[in-house]
Amino acid sequence: MKIFLVIIIVFLLSTLNLLLMDFLLGFSFLDSFMHLLNPFWVMSNAEYIMLAGLFFTIIGQQIFLIIKKKEEKRNHS
């Protein structure tokens, strides 16, 4: 769970950093938000599959660790 929380915090801080940099350049909020989404508009299908695989790996690892901890607690009881 800690790893997932760290990933979320890093994602939010990097997104905020990019938004603030666009604000300093004089863009509106909508333009800044569109600049954040632009890389996803130009991705190919293979890149979408790689991105989904990355997310499934991260989420799957967390689920696996939770199940493993529950089994260890059950075995020690």
In terms of domains, do 4 and 28 share one? yes
In terms of domains, do 76 and 59 share one? yes
User: How many domains are there within the chain?
Assistant: 2
Q: What is the pLDDT of residue 43?
A: 82
Quick one: pLDDT band at residue 2, thresholds 50, 70, 90? Answer: confident
| Domain of 35, in residue numbers | 1-42
40 close to 50: Cβ distance less than 8 angstroms: no
Q: ∠ CA 13-14-19 to the nearest 5 degrees?
A: 95
Nearest Cα residue to 4 out of 63, 71, 67, 68: 63
19-63 pLDDT per residue, tens: 999 999 999 988 888 888 887 788 889 999 999 999 999 999 989
pLDDT top residue among 15 and 39: 15
